[in-house]
Structure 1
Amino acid sequence: MKRILITVAFVAVFAAGFILRGGSHIGVGNQVESPTEAEATIWTCSMHPQIQLPKPGKCPICFMDLIPLEHGHEEDLGPRSVQMSPGAAALADIRTTVVRRGQARSEQRLIGRIDFDETMVRTIPAWIGGRIDTLFVDSGGARVAQGDPVASIYSPELYAAQAELLSSLEALDRISGSSDAFMRSSAEATIASARRRLSLWGLNDRQIQAVEKRGQPSDHLRIFAPLKGTVVHKMVDQGQYVTAGQPLFKVADLSRVWLLLEAYESDLPLLAVGQDVAFTVASLPGRKFSGPIIFIDPVLDPRTRTADVRVEVDNADGRLLPGVFADAILRAILDDEGRPSSDSADSPLLIPASAPLITGKRALVYVRDPGHEKPTFTGKEVVLGPRAGNDYIVLDGLQAGELVVTNGNFKIDSALQIQAKPSMMNPGTESANPAQGSSPEFRNQLGGVLAAYLRIQSALAGDRGDQAASAAKDFLSRLEAVDMTLLGHDDHQVWMPLLTRLTANGNALMSNLDLGRQRAALLDLGPALWNALDRFGYDGPDTLRRFHCPMANENKGGDWIQLKTTTANPYFGPSMLLCGSQTDSLTPNPGR
């Protein structure tokens, strides 16, 4: 028995020793990392550095693209440069394009309406006081030729003036054989005075001669059309008494009309007097019209932030009707300063529209540095001209032949930010303690979004669903142009959910012409925009007002934004336009 116990103890000791030795071997093996693991790239978020994942993707907090976080030593780079391994650059999908010179073509879509050519509109007045005995044109819309009678006025004053003329002529006949020169000159002066008075009362030379030939005065005066055209407004009725100078009719010659367009600030550099404009109207599908720009308003409307552009259009067949909406396209070739030009000799410097990270007029691009073996990118501030299709014109900051990053540039910027280097989101020129409130550029862009919203609100208050959809399209375009990189970390966190709400409701408004669905989308659109303006600031010229209607949304209530103090309810339109009351106001401020 004792021998058996000794044997068992020996085996146990041997097994324990083997296990300990083997365990030691396994532990050492775990401490040796494979080359693949040592070179593994960690992906992080520039806004939330605490997020570190082994694979590329989206940040689980803000849904921005993750960027590679490299370990190891880099070359001695400049303050605006970042270097990546070839593998990291490939994973980040970094692509570059050569800066080139080429022909820049701009194409803009503007909305407008057909209107009268004001130089071809005439008002027909009553030349003398009296009573309208006959109206030869009894309704608006009638067409008249130049010289057609439009009305006949009874006037005792006219009768007295014609009688004076006839008596003066008779007096001159009686003294025609007299040698008294003074009497003859006096009679001739009286005749000239009577003729001039009748002329001032609207009688032409032919009518005055007819009175003299007839020898009998008349108490009726016929009013004639001064031009060929269409009666667009009748302002009197038969039997009505009128005074001298009172308007009777308004006549417009529609053989030439104006197309009135609204151009935003960003559109103005691409417009020039004489530039040709092509457009279509919904009332004549398939027909295309064109005309030159004859006037660009030098003053911007402070409410809509637009300038009026006037286009002269030939309308000999009269098919373009004043008041119809038009969809216009303006095409131009731009010179090296971004201005419309017929001379394409000065080809501008062009970069793809995806290359710049825009922060107002100035922008940041990343350029591939060919002097390094590893992919190295350096940030450069550039001055951009207008956008020309899929390109931007570069006014300053780049040279032809350089390689600019066109895909993955935001990831490069994020990598610089993590390394505490100057980047678009944290320029090196900014102070350590920036002032409160959003940047003026961001507030200006948000103001454009507000202007489009106010047109949506006005259109729905007038039951104009088609105009609301058109304004919603502009709303989304302006919302997409808002540069969120102008915001700091905290503001960015606030903006992202607001952007989601604004985009979703804007799409719902644009894609529906049904007023009910449009108004349902407005329920959340107004409050979301109000929260954004309250947070980031409002630069408008007037006080902004928030209104509430308790009966909207099936008596659950609904809010909206407007500028005027008088209620203009967009949820019920003209049927209950004044339903609602002001609940809040927002004065111009830089935000908080």
Structure 2
Amino acid sequence: MERRVMSDTVFERLPQEATAPPSPTNPPRRSVAWKFVAALLGGIPAVITFGVLAGVAYWGYQHDWTLPKFSAMNGEVPKGKEDWCAEHGVPESVCVECDTDLMPKPEPVGWCKQFGVHECPLCHPEVAQTATPPVPTKADFARAERAVTFTDRPENNRKCQMHRRRVQFVSKEAADKVGIEVEPVWTVPVTESVAGNGEAGYDQTRIARLSARLPGSVWKVFKQQGEPVKAGDLLALIDAADVGKAKAELLQAFASLQLKTQSFASISSSGGAVAEARVREAEAAVREAEIRLDAARQSLVNLGMPLGGDLQKRTPAQLEAGVRFLGLSPEVVKTLDSVRASTNLLPLVAPMEGVIVSRDVVAGEVVDSSKLLFTVADARRMWVTLDLRLEDAKLVALGQTVRFRPDGGTEASGKITWVSTEADPKTRTVKLRASVENAAGRLRANTFGAGQVVLREETEAVVVPTEAVQWEGCCHVVFVRDKDYLKDGSPKVFHVRTVRLGAKDGKNTEIIAGVVPGELVVTKGSTALRAELLKNNLGEGCTCGK
């Protein structure tokens, strides 16, 4: 009985489940086959779409369909379906590199052995891109010759063929859009030099360091530091006992000479009453007295107190008055107390014209010959000592101009008077010395600064902006604008020109040969032209000679 009831129950539930309506929470069950068929039918539209597109693409390919160019979308009609030179970046119909008849290249003039460039406009003015061919002068050739032979210059490869290339733009507007700017080649004064750090100091042949010749005490000081002096000006008086002794020896020698001279005269006039030996002894005594007087006189000269005139013609009183204030000028003697003033005064005088740059003495100070009292220097001419690198020192020579600018000061110039024959063992630099005029006194001793040794000066050197010069792997080149660039219908061409470089100052570069004044070279944008020039050589390195 239970089994039957259970079957009835199950039988009754099945119809209820089958007839229940589907709902979002109770979706109908689908078989795997039904799902596969549904997916297949749903993808038919996409397959049809892709098939149609593929068919259209194939049909267009068979009939040479192409997408419209940017110029056509802007209303410009292309001249031909293949009118474009991919190698040179311009329409093939106007490409002067592909069709040289559009702009024939001049006959090559070859390599200039003298200046190391291709197509030298100095030797062949017809290659210059100027309105009228230039006329080089002897001065132009002399300038270039001086520059190229002065020192080692960067060299160009003789086999390089890049100078035969030309860079072309579709139009002037296209070149302007790239950022091409040009500047003229011009002439300016150029100085080629080597630099070094240096120091200014006094000319050691024009400086005097003064001390007392004898020990003593300073009696009076007449000059102060910074005062100008002339040769012979009195700086100070030293009271030295040895001066008094030297003066006393002079007076004693003078008195002895007078006495012995009188004795010799008396003996000589005796008329033979005195023996000949006695006469010779008297004569010898006179000679000894003269020598002693000369020695005493020289002692005073050595102390800076010369006694002029013939002493033997003076009386003892005259000689004593003369040696009392020996070495002092009448003006100074007038300032002294004739009663209290010492006769031991030793004058300290300036030996040269100059300025007292140091004074280390006061009145009453006890001094000796080891103490420096005054320093007098003639600052109208100074010494400048520079330290140069070894590789630069080989370029300098005696007589070359040196320009020195001290820190915070004005420039001074002079000539090299000495170049060291050895290098500093620590810094590996070579010293040189220049004598510099300093009449205005603007250059001060013991000041540091930067110096330049002028190696070469040109008043009219050919220069271009440094940014105009490019290295293309073989040679230094500039891009010269064609002389007919601005004419209507003329190709917008820039010529590749090999140049020989000279001096540089950071902003400008001297061109020894390769361009002439009046030509226009590319400055801003020259890097882009170099890239255009070399784009077909990527990965090949230098293609010189190919």
TM-score, with length taken from structure 1: 0.46
TM-score, length of structure 2 as denominator length: 0.49
Q: Which has the larger radius of gyration?
A: 2
